Chains A and B, each alone.
Chain A
Amino acid sequence: MFRGFIARAGIIGILVVSVAVLSVLSPHFLTVNNLTNILLQVAITTIIGVGMTFVILTGGIDLSVGAIVALAIVVMAVVHKALAPMEFGVFQWPIVIGLPMLLALLTGTLTGLVNGVMVARARVPAFIMTLGMMSMARGGAYIVSDNQTISVFPDGLTFLGDGRVGGIPMLIIASLVIVAFAAWVLGRTIFGRYVYALGGNRVALRLSGVNAARVEMSVYAISGLACGIASIALLGRLNVAQPVAGFGYELDAIAAVIIGGTSIFGGEGKVANTLLGALLVGIIRNGLNLLNVSPNVQLLAIGSIIVAAVFLDKLRDSARA
């Protein structure tokens, strides 16, 4: 029960220290521009991390998130570019802007659902299924985009990633709303209770008369939906859609969830802490950039942090058993 609290206090402590150290080491760190930049990148990691939290709470894993972002973003871009020159009268906006966005969400959700069906019904291990999907969705993204970079989109399509409401970036507002909604689903709804119970004891959930497979399928679909939302945000932020988009995002999302104190073994964790985990990953990445640490060393650092976080989690678990 204290796990969430300790995790939160711990991460907030590390966050404060990192911010202090980086402010001293780099004059560029504590600028409005840089901080906004961090928050925008963190927002995308957070959105994907929210979906990942659902999956990891059930004891699963989703390695395909980065590739799903890529597939969704190119589907959206290609459909938009195909429709943009046409005339739809009063339906211009819904068809040219709305439909591509909807398709991004659908692409993400359906791809996630395929993961879910194979994991929950065909009992393919989540690790293998989503590893395979990582390759399939990435391949799909190259095929759909014909290996091209697509760029320059109208304001409506970029609003989520680029727009501001009352001076605050829309993306930051959206990510906070998503975290709050996810926290409500996990904490207050019956579905949320089943997500935790599935991670705790799958058999007990099934023997209680709950359709455990359906719960398991849903979490992968949710993860896919989160990738769809993230793809809309990413398109807006960069004003570019590429089949290589989202490369390596699974690493940051998993790191955010695990650093946020959610157990990789399932059943324990809080989605609000995923936000803190994403913040920490974002700040570390940004700090390493500012300090001119090479991207290769950054990979090394993030990878070690994930392993260390899981190791600590394992220590905590065996200390209890």
Chain B
Amino acid sequence: MLEKATPLVELQHIKLAFGGIHAVDDVSIDLYPGEVVGIVGHNGAGKSCLIKVLSGAYQRDEGKILIEGKEATINNPRDAKAYGIETIYQTLAVADNVDAAANLFLGRELKTGWGTLDDVAMEAETRKIMGRLNPNFERFKTPVVALSGGQRQSVAIARAIYFNARILIMDEPTAALGPQETQQVGELIRQLKADGIGIFLISHDIHDVFDLSDRVAVMKNGRMVGTARTEDVTKDEVLGMIILGKCPPAAVPGPGAIVDA
């Protein structure tokens, strides 16, 4: 049913190399509004590198990015944000020495009429959104270095969803979270999806991926093994794609698939 609409995002033949390492090698993937696409693969498969190309953190060597069918210029994080692309990085990318509000609004500070920092307003907004995400969060005036891994993660998540993203990239968003918070993030993903936001979800937890994703894309050694609708494949088949690079019949093979007779 989604297939007829214009994709929100199309990454076409993306290549990214570091010296001799082909971190991302001819990868194509798309994402529709209100869709969650899970990206899975072994450590070092190139998942983070791929999404960093979309988020502007890395500049691709080759390939095209289309947003709503039109070619997009994304050369830095600022460009990506202008297209409504928000990212939760695997490394969280928070400034440890400032507080939650300063991190939430970093680069997009609220200003008073005088053009100075409006710390009161920023803290109030932070309290609102954290109340939704992590009601137990109390430490609004502490530099985030003093927060737990999960608390820091909720700050990173808050930052990504506060600014009304159209396209959300989540790289291991629940890695440091307890079961209850993980469930809350799952709930949040469903909510955002219902609002028509497109989400790339990178996770090592195959159960989460099957729970939350409409489609799953498998990477191996920088290449795309294939994509499949989650309802059409089993977890074992996806594991086979991850480990062996073998594409089951229900999946659309990519350039990284092992073709066997």
Q: Which residues of A contact B (CB under 8 A)?
A: 1, 188-190, 192-193, 196-197, 199-201, 203-211, 267-268, 320
A1 to B146, CA, bound (A): 10
B93 touching A196, Cβ below 8 Å: no
**0 or 1 for each of B67-90: is its CB under 8 Å from A? (1 = yes):** 000000000111011000001010
Query: Do the beta carbons of A209 and B97 come within 8 Å of each other?
Result: no
Across the interface, do A204 and B95 meet the contact criterion of CB distance under 8 Å?
yes
Can you identify 24 A-B contacts, CB atoms within 8 angstroms?
A1-B142, A1-B143, A188-B116, A189-B117, A190-B116, A196-B97, A200-B97, A201-B94, A201-B95, A204-B94, A204-B95, A205-B95, A205-B107, A206-B76, A206-B77, A207-B93, A208-B77, A208-B106, A208-B107, A208-B108, A209-B77, A210-B78, A210-B107, A267-B96
**Smallest Cβ distance from A261 to chain B, in angstroms?**
14
The proximity string for B residues 88-124 relative to A, scoring 1 for CB distances below 8 Å and 0 otherwise, is 0101011111100011001111010001110000000
What CA separation (Å) do A177 and B129 show in the bound complex? 39
Which residues of B from 161 to 186 have beta carbons under 8 Å from A?
Answer: none
Q: How distant is A179 from chain B, measured CB to nearest CB, in Å?
A: 18
Q: Is the CB of B57 within 8 A of A207?
A: yes
Chain A residues whose CB sits within 8 angstroms of the CB of B116 once the complex forms: 188-190
B141: Cβ under 8 A from any A Cβ: yes
- Which secondary structure dominates where chain A touches chain B? helix
**What are the residues of chain A within 8 A of B94 when measuring CB–CB?**
201, 204
Q: How far is it, in angstroms, between the C-alpha of A200 and the C-alpha of B93 when the chains are bound? A: 11
Residues of B within 8 A of A268 (CB): 97
Cross-interface CB contact of B96 among A192, A200, A207, A210, cutoff 8 Å = A200
Q: How far is the CA of A210 from the CA of B107 in the complex (A)?
A: 5
Residue-wise, chain B 115-141 has the 8 Å CB interface mask toward A (1 for contact) of 111000000000000000000000001
Neighbouring A residues of B76 by C-beta, 8 Å: 206, 209
With contacts A196-B98, A197-B95, A197-B98 taken as known, whether A207 is within 8 angstroms of B143 at the C-beta atoms is no
List chain B residues, Cβ under 8 A from A1.
141-143
Which B residues touch A208, using CB under 8 A? 77, 93, 106-108
- Contact across chains for B93 and A204 when beta carbons are under 8 A apart: yes
The size bracket of the interface on B is 20 to 34
Q: Is the CB of A267 within 8 A of B78?
A: no
Q: Nearest B residue to A184 by beta-carbon distance?
A: B116
Question: Which residues of chain A have C-beta atoms less than 8 A from B57's C-beta?
Answer: 206-207
C-alpha gap A1/B141 in the complex (Å):
9
Give the residues in chain A near B109, CB-CB below 8 Å: 190, 193
B133 to chain A, nearest CB (A): 19
Task: Please name all residues of chain B whose beta carbon is closer than 8 Å to the beta carbon of A203 when the two chains form the complex.
Answer: 91, 93
Contact residue among B80, B81, B95, B107 (Cβ-Cβ distance under 8 Å from A200): B95
Cα A196 to Cα B116 with chains together (Å)? 16
- List chain A residues, Cβ under 8 A from B96: 200-201, 267
Complex CA distance for A190 and B122, rounded to whole angstroms: 13
B153 to chain A, nearest CB (A): 14
Give the distance to chain A from B137, nearest Cβ to Cβ, in Å: 17
Contact A209 to B78, CB < 8 A, known contacts A1-B143, A197-B102: yes
Contact of B77 among A188, A207, A267 (CB under 8 A): A207
Query: Taking CB as reference atom, which chain B residue is nearest A198?
Result: B95
In the complex, chain B residues whose CB is within 8 Å of the CB of A190: 109, 111, 116-117
With A and B bound together, what is the CA distance between A203 and B57 in angstroms? 9
For the complex formed, measure the closest distance between the CB of B140 and the CB atoms of chain A, giving whole angstroms: 12
Q: What's the least CB distance linking B11 to chain A, in Å?
A: 19
Taking CB atoms, residues of chain B closer than 8 Å to A200 are 95-98
Q: Are B89 and A207 in contact (CB under 8 A)?
A: yes
